Amino acid sequence: MKTDYEILIIGGGPGGITAGVYCARAGLKTAIVEREVPGGKVNKTAEIENYPGFTSILGPDLAVNLFSQAQAVGANFIFDEVIKINQREDKLFDVHLKSKILIVKAVIIATGTKERKLGVPGEDKLYGRGVSYCAVCDGAFFKEKPLIVVGGGLAAIEESLYLTKFASKVTLIHRREEFRAAEPVVNKTRSHPKVEFMLNYVVEEIIGETTVQAVVVKNLKTNVTEKIEVAGIFPLIGSDPITDFVKELPILNETNNIITDVEMKTSISGLFAVGDVRNTPLKQIATAVGDGAIAAQKAIDYCDNF
């Protein structure tokens, strides 16, 4: 059975590259498909302090290290986008890219998620420089500095409380008065001395040249705007897994995350998923890397017994 690769990994973030390193070191012909740049969201993270082995490392530097290591052990990189995946009767996969179709034995999906954005001026410009979508990742960079959190769901409420460990003040902006979180959690956050709720407000603009300096908000009842000086803003209005290319496969849950077991296996034999794209309780570089190692070993076993 002729194949282009034994294992194809879709997504070149930390989880995908880790899987690629393990597979290539095991001697399997391995390729990683990445539609943007190797490293994924790591490239847009200014500084990382919670990844083992580095007291502190710049996101782009870690991305370069990941890319270089994968290349050094023989993993190939294909800069393209996957459109769909189809498993044939002979159990091989046809992976449809924009430019071609690849035939492989096993597939590891590591496409991650895409944050829902506010869509306001300054958000993209200052991403990674005061605009963050992960309080656990970046909260420690804002010690004794004022912050804004945007959102009305459980994540926004819990992360506001979490950020009080570091920030001098946390202002929670929400466009309504009702929350999509349990009342006890909301009340606990509301009663914290460092947290201020600004309800019926929306963010209009994020201001700053090299880092976030202020945020312009508007009162939806009065249409009056005001500028709040802060060092950072956390839009926590949700994220969506990048799974459109597998939407016809029976592997997604109600939030369109890929369902896997503890061995990163989906319900389709030979198809694995790792990192933020799957049904994981924690979305971190360290957990994605762990997923990648597990999926790789199971994919290697699968190919050896194909």
What are the catalytic residues? 134, 137-138
Report phi then psi at 52, rounded to 5: -55, 140
CA distance 271 to 88: 13
Residue 228 near residue 214 (C-beta atoms within 8 A): yes
| Tokens representing residue 223 in the block | 């249409």
Q: Are 265 and 138 in contact (CB under 8 A)?
A: no
Structure tokens given for 133:
């979508």
Inter-residue contact 32 to 78 (CB < 8 Å): yes
Write down the residue that tokens 């360290």 correspond to: 286
Cα first-last separation, the chain: 11
Q: Is residue 229 classed as helix, strand or coil in its secondary structure?
A: strand
Cα–Cα distance, 236 to 250 (Å, whole number): 29
- The rounded Cα 62 to chain-centroid distance in angstroms is 16
Residue 258: φ, ψ to 5°: -85, 130
- For the chain, give the number of residues: 306
CA distance 121 to 151: 18
Backbone angles phi, psi at 285, to 5 degrees: -60, -45
